[in-house]
A = this chain, B = another copy of it.
């Protein structure tokens, strides 16, 4: 994994001395360089290609907006907005997503319809979790269709874009798109007896069901948000359902629910949507999931979230090993109108590139590791009269083989150093053990990372001097960290 456990700080960074400047990026941010940028740019290129195939126009907005533009758009998450200091002049905030800036752009311009895309960093003062790919500065890739069109036609195209993006990234087999509809959800809450002013807070609580068990969510509803326990239980009955178009039929048999006009209208739209998804041949990629709520206040219709299927060996409740949704979005017909000029209906999706990056990077590393034949290459070098240290190379190899560490060395008595490096690098072997005559005499050797490229420190160039008995532990540590 390239995202560093110390939040972007290279591994050798030491905690700063008292009074010294902390040499690191701010919490939850990271530097991007080298192979990471190449992989990231590949992801951007694939996503942009799909966006362009669907007629998208790029838009680039400022990194900060007037603070009042962001006010009342994000519900409970507003506390995560980064504010700029009041240094005189306008009050500004870093953008929290790319959707509200789009709405601001639409409200101020004369544009009535467009397909716009934007790939840019957004900012959230959230608790960073590097392992889950959750940072405070992260990329979003957004595509939104703006304008009045016939029901569910743009919505289904957005879902098609989602499938095509993950097809382009070779991830289509690993994803499911969860669908729900705000009208159905809000209608069911009303049917269950949730008071009008509690609809949004209860919706927020339901949104946590992908991370927390029902008992915990129920507790939040009842104890924190003051909902009747019976009402909560009724919600619990509804949100356990998920599946395909057959769920529409199931709900249609629920006369109590169908008496609510929102539920009825939402189901009609879902039914139409499933017709279009069939035409696009992507029905197998979606799951109609009544527990999907989406935290944001501004959604008004269809909502969706792309999740990765857990690998079979992952524990479902191992929070750190899970990566949340990797794309999400929905229909928001009233957001532009919040700026007071006119209503323009919109539907869109946002891809979380940092999480996608984390998945693809891990996969790359695993493939690379599986493809190579060995993890350690033992080399020897010396000056005039150098005897090749063959016995020493054999002894070290035996030591590593015993531990199950895949190890190779040259089958020549007196191999030349450049040839040994070439053999190791041709086979993409990540570690070299380098034996020199003087060091061998002292029971020492050097352990060097290969393939670091330019700009190495002296220690990285020459390898780290170790006592022979520390080698196994160091190699295992490296392999564990780079598994």
Contact = CB atoms under 8 A, between A and B. Distances in A.
Interface in A1-58: 8-10, 12-13, 20-27, 29-34, 37, 57-58
B69 A455 contact: no
Contact of A454 (B62, B82, B113, B121): B113
Contact of A455 (B24, B112, B456): B112
A102 to B, nearest CB: 10
A59 interface: yes
Contacts of A339: 21, 23
Contacts of A21: 66, 68-69, 339-340
A167 interface: no
A92 B25 CA distance: 10
A172 to B, nearest CB: 28
Nearest to A452: B110
Given A21-B339, A26-B90, A339-B21, A60 B84 contact: no
Nearest to A123: B63
Contacts of A198: none
Contacts of A454: 113-114
A83 interface: yes
Nearest to A459: B110
A32 B62 CA distance: 9
Contacts of A116: 33
Contact of A87 (B26, B125, B341): B125
Nearest to A340: B20
A18 to B, nearest CB: 12
A137 interface: yes
A90 B60 CA distance: 28
Given A9-B108, A87-B125, 17 more contacts: A10-B110, A20-B340, A21-B66, A21-B68, A21-B339, A22-B66, A23-B104, A23-B339, A25-B65, A27-B90, A30-B62, A37-B60, A84-B94, A110-B455, A111-B457, A146-B455, A147-B455
Interface of A: 8-10, 12-13, 20-27, 29-34, 37, 57-66, 68-69, 82-87, 89-90, 92, 94, 104-105, 107-114, 116, 121, 123, 125, 137, 146-147, 339-341, 454-457, 459-460
